[in-house]
Structure 1
Amino acid sequence: MARRMTTEDWIVSSVNYALLAVITLITLYPFYYLIIVSFNSGQDTLLGGIYFWPRDFTLENYQAFFSDSKWVKAFGISVLRTVVGGAAGVFFTCLVAYGLSYKDLLFKKLYFVLVIIAMYFSGGLIPYYVLLRELHLINTFWVYVIPSLLNIFFLLIAVSFFREIPKELHESAKIDGANDLSIFFRIIIPVSMPLIATMGLFIGVGQWNSWLDSAYFVQSENLRTLTYRMMEIINQSNISQEAAAFGRGSSSVTSFSIQVTAMVIAVAPIMCVYPFLQKYFVKGMMLGSVKE
């Protein structure tokens, strides 16, 4: 039988819902503001006073964005590095973690010592640049992918997750003649979807948002990422020249309107992907938190 709510319960619930509504508004309104500004005339936006809907609705900001080849190329590079880098990072991290999860692995303590050292210490930017140069990764697409193949944070989580998988699954598969790779692909991967989805979400978002590697290790304009282009336009000192370049003669497109449009386009893919991974993401957040 449900307990009847008292006056105090009503007051507490009302305060909680009011606070949640305020927090939700504060959280969502900035992104909503970017959306309405991206659909508003750039020159009209400079006048201010836009709060809830576009005052001078236009699609010229998006037309200017997609008509500029460097923005389109940057968007394609960001998508490609997110898909390739995210998938490769998840696969390689899981593969290494699966090997480290074996209790009878030779030199296992040494491997974990190296992992911990790599987690807390780095050689610095200049040695890192020299290493990438010696590997012939500078100014190539693979500089976005290969250095991020192993995510040490998720490596430790994956090792803990794989250790909790019942040994009987391994033993029964080996009795049937399966080798370690067959066990990994046919048994471990299917039962590790919460882990893989969580890793894919975080690693993919990291790849999508990264811009430092594009600034430091890439010189070709054809390999610039979307986030680098956004930082580039934010740091422009001469807004009038940038507006003329993006507007292509249009009087309604400004540097700020293109910048906001780029932000909306950069955030939209992540928001579209997240709902499909949410059920796995919630499970994945609990990985390693409960031990039997």
Structure 2
Amino acid sequence: MKRRTLEDYLVDGINYFLLALIFIATFYPFYYLIVISFNNGLDSSLGGIYFWPRHFTLVNYKTLVTDPSWILAFFVSVARTVVGTFLGVGFTSLVAYGLAYKQLMFKKVYFAIFIIGMYVSGGIIPLYVILRQIHLLNTFWVYVLPSMLNIFLLFIAISFFREIPSELEESARIDGASELRIFLKIILPISKPVLATMALFIGVTQWNSWLDSAYYVQNEHLRTLTYKMIQVINQASIPTNIQGPGAEYAAKVAQATPFSLEVTAMVVSIIPIICVYPFLQKYFVKGAMIGAVKG
């Protein structure tokens, strides 16, 4: 065993110090949000809170739990994330499997179409017109159907499917299996890394998305949690001495304050992603590396 020198200890010390700084810089902002969410909103506005709540309270969380609009927004976000992730992973992987077929006719044409679609966008107005023509505006499906195909993840999945030995598919065809059966029974079970990578990317995107709720939905019962947070941020900038909806909202959350309610909603919105990520981490890292190395 090689004896450690003073230089080795010095390098290790510098590395640990830098890692500690990086950890503090990345973890403390989230920890600060948790502290503020458990502190009295009016007291938080005075500042001077850094490591623990000065006036501990659950009023911020009670305000969210007892507000039907926040509860409904939370379930809408959960529903769009679950359904959108399932449909997005399924449809994107299915298209990728077809494009990974070596004997596919007009393959270059298909790839050109997808590459152009990835870099060129028609904008919000054309998309709005299309969604109106197919009657998706003001419905739950406007959240999931337009995003079923993720072109970036499509190319990662294509790279992964190309590396699967063709002998597996050929033996299944000899046994009389259809293409769909091969895809469902053979390809998907051995594609957990890339599927987990796609699920994490799509799930986080669905959970954090709010523009579609602002532009394509007017029904208050279909608002998402992230849209409600943006609404709180906008309401917080309204002077408290005005009359009308802004004054009513300010009076409603007088004890919690808009800022503390916003922070609490952020904490609530981050927790589901933190709970899911550990289960997908090992697959996510492997799938991302496959897409990067073999793409």
Classify the TM-score, shorter chain.
Answer: over 0.9
Pick from 256, 260, 272: which aligns with 2:275? 272
Point out the more displaced range, 211-220 or 4-13: 4-13
Q: Is the 8 A contact 1:98 1:162 kept in 2?
A: yes
- Corresponding residue SS for 1:55: coil
1:238 match: 238
Point out the more displaced range, 82-91 or 116-125: 116-125
Q: What letter corresponds to residue 47 of structure 1 in structure 2? A: L
CA shift at 1:238, angstroms?
2.2
Residues 84 and 239 from structure 1, CA distance in 2 versus in 1: closer, same or farther, beyond 3 angstroms?
farther
TM-score, normalised via structure 2 length: 0.94
Q: Is the 8 A contact 1:243 1:253 kept in 2?
A: no
Q: Distance in 2 between matches of 1:208 and 1:289?
A: 25
TM-score, normalised via structure 1 length: 0.95
Give structure 1 regions of 4+ aligned residues with deviation exceeding 2 angstroms: 237-243, 288-291
Pick from 252, 261, 286: which aligns with 1:283? 286
Q: Distance in 2 between matches of 1:191 and 1:239?
A: 57
Deviations 1:216-247 (A, max 9, x none): 11111111111111111111232633332235
Mark the runs of 5 or more structure 2 residues left unpaired by the alignment: 241-246
CA shift at 1:288, angstroms?
3.5
Q: Distance in 2 between matches of 1:253 and 1:117?
A: 48
CA shift at 1:161, angstroms?
0.8
Q: Distance in 1 between matches of 2:180 and 2:217?
A: 36
Q: Distance in 2 between matches of 1:244 and 1:148?
A: 38
Point out the more displaced range, 74-83 or 102-111: 102-111
Report the number of matched residues: 286
- Corresponding residue SS for 1:288: helix
Q: Is the 8 A contact 1:68 1:246 kept in 2?
A: no
CA shift at 1:290, angstroms?
3.9
Pairwise mapping of residues 34-183 of structure 1 onto structure 2 (< 5 A)?
34-183=33-182
CA shift at 1:9, angstroms?
1.2
Q: Distance in 1 between matches of 2:291 and 2:215?
A: 36
CA shift at 1:287, angstroms?
1.2
Q: Distance in 1 between matches of 2:116 and 2:17?
A: 47
2:244 match: none
- Corresponding residue SS for 1:279: helix
Residues 239 and 198 from structure 1, CA distance in 2 versus in 1: closer, same or farther, beyond 3 angstroms?
farther
Deviations 1:140-177 (A, max 9, x none): 11000010000000111111111110011001111111
Residues 228 and 239 from structure 1, CA distance in 2 versus in 1: closer, same or farther, beyond 3 angstroms?
farther
Q: Distance in 2 between matches of 1:146 and 1:41?
A: 41
Q: Distance in 1 between matches of 2:276 and 2:165?
A: 31
Q: What letter corresponds to residue 69 of structure 2 in structure 1? A: K
Q: Is the 8 A contact 1:65 1:246 kept in 2?
A: no
1:221 match: 220
Q: Distance in 1 between matches of 2:60 and 2:270?
A: 16
Deviations 1:108-162 (A, max 9, x none): 1211111111111111221111011111111111000010000000111111111
* RMSD of aligned alpha carbons: 1.2
Q: Distance in 2 between matches of 1:229 and 1:239?
A: 19
Mark the runs of 5 or more structure 1 residues left unpaired by the alignment: none
Q: Percent identity among equivalent residues? A: 64
Q: Distance in 1 between matches of 2:92 and 2:140?
A: 20
Q: Distance in 2 between matches of 1:123 and 1:238?
A: 34
